[in-house]
Structure 1
Amino acid sequence: MKRKRDFTVTLLVSTYNKPDYLRQTLLSVARQTVLPDEVVVADDGSTDETRQLIDDMRSIVPVPIQHVWHPDTGFRLSEIRNKAIAAAKGEYIIQIDGDVVLERHFLADHLDVAEPGAFVCGSRLLLTPRYTQKVLGDGMKVKSGFSSKFDHMLNNLRIGWLRRYMAPRFAKGQPDRLRGCNMAFWKSDLIAVNGYNEDMASWGGEDIEIAWRLIYCGVQKKMLKFGGVMYHLYHPEASRDKVSMHNEIIDAVKRERSARCLNGLDKHLQ
């Protein structure tokens, strides 16, 4: 039985210069059995091709789309996510990347485990390069798990009672076990910890760092398993050249049990 939703929901989609990928993401949003109240695209400096794609998709996606953009001065995912969070009208924010395809029950499954005092981390299913090109080239829907890693195939399952049972139990005591491309938070909790740490100005670890701060703020971590199915379109991984610096920031958060960062969301709030 579906629970009545008495809060507003924003779907936050991060992107950078992948309009063909973003198109598939937004098409999968339009196919959802439960829609968000709005989509906010957090655009880390894409060219005008992405803006045009978003304009075209407004006639297809049946909810408002906000396009939050800043100039391209290098990788600034934490900053553009903070700007998008500040612009979000929803009380609950479901965060994905603009290079995924959502199974049609994705949002419904997230809302099934949403509760005050908790943030949610989901999983992904990696698509092979060949199948990704079929999706991008032919516009075909993802119908099954063509994963590049066999151990990810379980991420393709939807079992409602098991999803609700496992949410507070799976990976308990493992805050580092998460994927920033599939997370959900209450906006009020993000404000309390001052959002993403903009000192993390390269790829990697920004999702882990905010998860630790949420936990130190008293927000419980829940895992979305057996639901919230997401297919990640293949692309080469980003550079990891500053991961060690980010790990030092994460280590400091854990050592000091910090719930709030200094360089974060507050400067974007009005």
Structure 2
Amino acid sequence: MISVIFTTYNSIDWLEKVLWGFHHQTDKNFEIIIADDGSEEDTRIAIESFAQHSHLDIQHVWQPDDGFQKCKIMNKALKKATGDYLVFTDGDCIPRKDFVAVHREHAEPGFYLSGGYFKLPMTISEQITPSDIASGNAFDASWLLANGLKRTHKLSKLTAQGFKAKLMNSITPTRRTWNGHNASGRKADLVAVNGFDERMQYGGQDCELGYRLRHNGIKAKQIRYSAICVHLDHARGYVNEEMLANSRRIKKATLGQRLRFTEFGLNQH
């Protein structure tokens, strides 16, 4: 059983698009856990309304708003997960219809999977409809270009298939980090390192978890050209320099001391 976990915060339009992406997955043997970092009541209402029109098994895990506390709500969601394999993404990333299937296919004991995303501008982010998600238009390079996307080499993330995708996964210089928008691993491996470090807010909190996994013997496998999601644009007004400096300090300690376990993680719940 797979549990898909992603965060949200007062962003109903983006959340609903992400949920439609999971509604249309070819692999349907998974549950959804929405890790809600303090949204207002209208988000709960929207989730319950969506669930009435979908086969998805959805859990809504909420905590009161206390600023950006992604690590805390992710740990709470992780503890609620019933799957033995966990796929992580974000509430602003629409998954292609084979997203869950690709993670299941590439899952391997002793490894976590490192994926990426294709970033969309705000105009296209707003334009995408549920029918565009169902038809696959939202992931189609031709459709995106026709609707104002600028052509860049990054389009290969969307166009690579089969052998080409495998080749690109093997030769990309991008590091195989744990990326919160597209990563997966065994629940037991995440529990062994005590989940996310709740002292961290914005700034590499996902990568820091990946460092501890690797220090604990878990290797990383690159799937950024196989597991596809498109990232919807948004502002990041919650980020400040103090937050970033704190995250840099914790990451540096984790790397320098080759830490495998945090004392500030799952064990606090």
- What TM-score comes out, normalization by structure 2 length? 0.88
Q: Which has more helix, going by share of residues?
A: 2
Q: Deviations over 1:136-185 (max 9, x none)?
A: 6x86431424456824212213423454566577558x45x453111111
SS of equivalent residue, structure 1 residue 249 = helix
Instruction: Pick from 137, 150, 153 the counterpart of residue 152 of structure 2.
Output: 150
Q: How does 1:242-257 map to 2 (within 5 A)?
A: 242-257=243-258
C-alpha contact 1:169 1:222 (8 A) present in aligned 2: no
State the partner residue of 1:61: 54
State the partner residue of 1:102: 95
- Tell which deviates more after alignment, 43-52 or 146-155: 146-155
RMSD: 2.1
C-alpha contact 2:3 2:31 (8 A) present in aligned 1: yes
Change (3 A) 1:178 1:215: closer
Change (3 A) 1:151 1:204: farther
For 2:248 and 2:211, the matched residues in 1 are separated by 12
Structure 1: 5+ residue stretches without partners: 1-7
C-alpha contact 2:86 2:187 (8 A) present in aligned 1: yes
State the partner residue of 1:3: none
State the partner residue of 1:45: 38
SS of equivalent residue, structure 2 residue 60 = strand
Q: Percent identity?
A: 29
For 2:214 and 2:139, the matched residues in 1 are separated by 36
Instruction: Pick from 82, 101, 111 the counterpart of residue 89 of structure 1.
Output: 82
For 2:3 and 2:160, the matched residues in 1 are separated by 23
Structure 2: 5+ residue stretches without partners: none
SS of equivalent residue, structure 1 residue 257 = coil
For 1:178 and 1:189, the matched residues in 2 are separated by 13
- Tell which deviates more after alignment, 85-94 or 120-129: 120-129
For 1:64 and 1:103, the matched residues in 2 are separated by 18
SS of equivalent residue, structure 1 residue 67 = strand
Change (3 A) 1:251 1:156: same
One-letter identity of the residue aligned with 2:140: S
Change (3 A) 1:170 1:75: same
SS of equivalent residue, structure 1 residue 116 = coil
Does the alignment pair 1:188 with 2:188?
A: yes
For 1:161 and 1:90, the matched residues in 2 are separated by 30
